[in-house]
Structure 1
Amino acid sequence: MKYEDFLDLKYKPASNDLVCLFRITPDKGFNVKNSAIRVAAESSNGTWSDLKVPKHLLKLKAKVYKINKDLVRIAYPSELFETNNMSQILSSIAGNIFGMKAVKGLRLEDVQWPGKMMKGFKGPNFGIKGVQKLFKISNRPLIATVPKPKVGYYSEEHARIGYDAWTGGVDLLKDDENLSSQKFNPFEKRLKLCMKMRDRAEKETGEKKSYLINITAETNEMLKRLKMVKDYGNEYAMIDTLTAGWAATQTICNKAMEEKIIMHFHRAFHSAFDRNPLHGVSMKVLCSIARLQGADQLHIGGLGKLAGDKEEVRNNYEKCSLNENKEKEDMLAQNWHGMKKTLSVGSGGLHVGILKPLMDLLGTNICIQVGGGIHGHPNGTHDGAVAVRQSIDAYLKCKTLDEYAETHKELKIALEKWGRKVYE
């Protein structure tokens, strides 16, 4: 077995093959082909030294089967993988290969998951339709908000902000990624107080409200917190999936499915390896992994303060929220074989003046999270929430913001403050 054995440009992937699309920048002394076969070898069952091996091992080797400039497709036999073990799968296709000297840059652009492998993962328990059913909403985006600043409030203050937002028209209060159970705002106290405020807001508005509380911690502690979520009558739990880890995420999602808890995935840490366009793992890949593991909701970008252009955000949406996506230059086709759709969450520096481009791009079967664009309203959180709801109503009624603001003072005041500028 030698490196050249991992190249077969006549090969056509089998239906059970896992296919990866890599963007390869060779280092000095290598070309794309020579780098690609080393990636295929290292990520499957090859090594730098020529080996004499039994014939059955040759059947397990990955195959470089298509090279188009710097984009390379590699097919992997499904037998290489433990099909319900995301950590093992990624240790192969996203493991040692990123440190190889043969590549100056290596980016895993996309993964095409075979139906056989997908059966090892349960996918979302609720998905878009389940979430919309809970809230009895199908004709507009769900609205979420995070108290700002994101950490520092006492539990009582946090819950009060939630009440003001809920009664202003927000559907979901959400913890931010770095709020867990600090001394100034411990988990159970925050949960208890927010549930009281949630119940009060529901009674006053006649609308369903819920809370994306962050359970991220050591795995056994997350299981305890998930039980608390259930015991206090909340419908949601949030996990920082990347910092918690894929194995822990799977454990929590499996338990959440048993408890009928909706799972909201925060993507904190993603830009550490998806922002460099020539190296790392794309957000598209992270979206598909999250969907497989059980994300009912996932942040995908939002055209606001965070990096990610329209094409990236749209591609992320297609991986999360469609039954299948078509092939593009840097994206593989994917059929989800009936797996439920993950609700895409647009977030990051959003306010009333820039929501329309997001809805134009993705439609209205999404969740829109607005933080500072609610709490920074000159008249406070409640009116900020009202203004966001009004901006969405204007869109649904095919009214311009300026036209709608003439008879909706909260929206008018918000537009006067932020206009249509994207703040960074």
Structure 2
Amino acid sequence: MLTDRIEADYLLETTGSPEKAADVMAGEQSSGTFVAIPGETPELKERSAARVVHLTVLEENVPVRSLPSPGARPGEKVTRAKVTLSWPLANLGPSLPNLLATVAGNLFELRQVSGLKLLDIRLPQAFADRYPGPKFGIEGTRRLSGIASGPLIGTIIKPSVGFDAAQTAALVKELCEAGIDFIKDDELQADGPACPFDDRVREVMKVINTHADRTGKKVMYAFNLTGDMDEMRHRHDLVLAQGGTCVMASLNSVGLAGMIELGRMTQLPIHAHRNGWGYLTRHPLLGWSYVAWQKIWRLAGADHMHVNGIANKFSEEDDSVMASALECLTPMFPDKPCTVMPVFSSGQSARQVPATFAGLKSTDLIMTAGGGIMAHPDGPGAGVRSLREAWDATVAGVSLEERARTHPELGRALEMAA
């Protein structure tokens, strides 16, 4: 394990020498600049300069470029390589905001780079010592939800916006009675005048608390508290006071510093929503890989992290989705695993359950089906039951089609998702 250095892996595309491009990357992100400077002595470089510790050429003379560059010629060939850079921890200390400036920073603007993707990062123990990581994670989520084993079956309030607080609570009542484990606000529903946050929390928690008093099961609801820090503190404290068991934040909206502060002060699990992720990753040679990106937010305090879903409604391939989910369950440090619940979403239904379980080989997950539950022909309650039946069958090694012969709600769900 690294003790005093930080490492980052990149997929590099360049029209020139990959070795030269890697040297420029290392210099730009540590002690160097575009010209030699007197103060950059050999002693200083030995102490503070980033190093190119690994470079493997993957493809040569490929007629593709991803980023425009000054003076680029039509049809210019590129080389692609995997590059690993290393920095001394002493350059920045265990600081997540400054880590971003170091491993990403100006690299995407370099003339020598026509494509660049940050694939992974490896951090020394000092980061685990500095940051809280998830306070609840998998174990705490199971404890608060009362779901000791198996997946948490969840949904999103749909329509995403348009309901007032009373209408939202009425739908929550129906879902609670159907046996749902987890409900979340849509990321578009925050604190608008049509459905104020405070009103929504009070109305929804009346329903959830009444249901818990009657049945002993307290449904976990992730209220979207995204806002500035004062707003998030107030919203968190209200959810806690009303007996809520989860809050949600949009990572790209609150930013890293906002998430760090929320992680430090929260007394509830943080459901971390990744909306906006597409602009960071969709191009295969630009931006971030989820493997690297999610490590930042886990250290900052996320307890659940969205990973998209199998056969999703967006553009992400199944292999990428599953790699993201598996990474959420992979420990980051020997004494501080920082493992979190992967959240499968985006066009999910009973149909995706077998492939999800086959890839993850675990039931430590939250599966949120919006349309898959809300649009079930027999109503949301039947949607919840169909998803649970699909998981029960899959874990038991029974095909969905076989289980559907004796469980019509599952059969209707499979017809709808065909």
**Is TM-score (shorter-chain normalized) higher than 0.5?**
yes
CA deviation string 1:365-384 (max 9, x = no partner): 11111111000111221221
Report 1:369-384 matches (<5 A). 369-384=368-383
CA deviation string 1:200-243 (max 9, x = no partner): 33345432312100000112111111111111111111000122
Indicate the larger mover: 288-297 or 389-398.
389-398
Say whether the 8 Å CA contact 1:124–1:339 is kept in structure 2: no
Which residue of 2 is the match for residue 33 of structure 1?
A: 19
Matched, 1:73 2:84: yes
Matched, 1:116 2:126: yes
In structure 2, the CA distance between the partners of 1:56 and 1:163, relative to structure 1 (3 Å rule), is farther
Give % identity.
Answer: 28
Which residue of 2 is the match for residue 316 of structure 1?
A: 324
Report 1:8-407 matches (<5 A). 15-26=3-14, 28=15, 30-53=16-39, 54=41, 57-58=44-45, 59-69=47-57, 70-83=81-94, 85-256=95-266, 260-303=267-310, 304-323=312-331, 335-362=333-360, 363-407=362-406
Question: Counterparts of 1:315 and 1:241 in 2: how far apart (Å)?
Answer: 20
Question: Counterparts of 1:353 and 1:418 in 2: how far apart (Å)?
Answer: 6
- Letter of the 2:407 counterpart: H
Which residue of 1 is the match for residue 415 of structure 2?
A: 416
**Paired residue secondary structure (2:48):** coil
**Paired residue secondary structure (2:316):** coil
In structure 2, the CA distance between the partners of 1:56 and 1:208, relative to structure 1 (3 Å rule), is farther
**Paired residue secondary structure (2:53):** strand
Say whether the 8 Å CA contact 1:167–1:204 is kept in structure 2: no
**Paired residue secondary structure (1:22):** strand
Which residue of 1 is the match for residue 77 of structure 2?
A: none
- Letter of the 2:91 counterpart: L
Which residue of 1 is the match for residue 78 of structure 2?
A: none
**Paired residue secondary structure (1:66):** strand
Which residue of 2 is the match for residue 4 of structure 1?
A: none
Question: Counterparts of 2:406 and 2:217 in 1: how far apart (Å)?
Answer: 24
CA deviation string 1:50-85 (max 9, x = no partner): 0122555321110011101110000110011231x3
In structure 2, the CA distance between the partners of 1:153 and 1:378, relative to structure 1 (3 Å rule), is same
Question: Counterparts of 1:202 and 1:74 in 2: how far apart (Å)?
Answer: 52
In structure 2, the CA distance between the partners of 1:312 and 1:263, relative to structure 1 (3 Å rule), is same
Aligned residues: CA RMSD: 1.7
CA deviation string 1:89-126 (max 9, x = no partner): 10121111111111011111110111123221111101
Question: Counterparts of 2:33 and 2:50 in 1: how far apart (Å)?
Answer: 12
Which residue of 1 is the match for residue 65 of structure 2?
A: none
Number of aligned residues: 391
Indicate the larger mover: 351-360 or 392-401.
392-401
In structure 2, the CA distance between the partners of 1:243 and 1:138, relative to structure 1 (3 Å rule), is same
Say whether the 8 Å CA contact 2:349–2:387 is kept in structure 1: yes
**Paired residue secondary structure (2:343):** strand
CA deviation string 1:338-380 (max 9, x = no partner): 3331111111100111121011111211111111100011122
- Letter of the 1:48 counterpart: F
Indicate the larger mover: 199-208 or 131-140.
199-208
TM-score, L = length of structure 1: 0.88
Following superposition, which runs of at least 4 residues in structure 1 exceed 6 angstroms of deviation? none
Question: Counterparts of 2:255 and 2:148 in 1: how far apart (Å)?
Answer: 32
**Paired residue secondary structure (1:119):** helix
Deviation, structure 1 residue 307:
3.0
Deviation, structure 1 residue 286:
1.7
Question: Counterparts of 1:238 and 1:77 in 2: how far apart (Å)?
Answer: 35
Indicate the larger mover: 293-302 or 127-136.
127-136
Deviation, structure 1 residue 285:
1.4
Question: Counterparts of 1:102 and 1:239 in 2: how far apart (Å)?
Answer: 37
- Letter of the 1:42 counterpart: E
Question: Counterparts of 1:56 and 1:215 in 2: how far apart (Å)?
Answer: 49
Say whether the 8 Å CA contact 2:25–2:107 is kept in structure 1: yes
- Letter of the 2:329 counterpart: S
Say whether the 8 Å CA contact 1:166–1:173 is kept in structure 2: no
**Paired residue secondary structure (1:213):** strand
Deviation, structure 1 residue 268:
0.8
**Paired residue secondary structure (1:245):** helix
Question: Counterparts of 2:406 and 2:376 in 1: how far apart (Å)?
Answer: 18
Q: Which runs of 5+ in 1 are unaligned?
A: 1-12, 324-333, 420-424
Question: Counterparts of 1:395 and 1:63 in 2: how far apart (Å)?
Answer: 48
Say whether the 8 Å CA contact 2:185–2:223 is kept in structure 1: yes
Say whether the 8 Å CA contact 1:310–1:361 is kept in structure 2: no
Question: Counterparts of 1:355 and 1:55 in 2: how far apart (Å)?
Answer: 58
Deviation, structure 1 residue 397:
2.6
Say whether the 8 Å CA contact 1:170–1:389 is kept in structure 2: no
Say whether the 8 Å CA contact 1:115–1:337 is kept in structure 2: no
Q: Which runs of 5+ in 2 are unaligned?
A: 58-80
Deviation, structure 1 residue 336:
4.7
Say whether the 8 Å CA contact 2:134–2:298 is kept in structure 1: yes
Deviation, structure 1 residue 249:
0.6
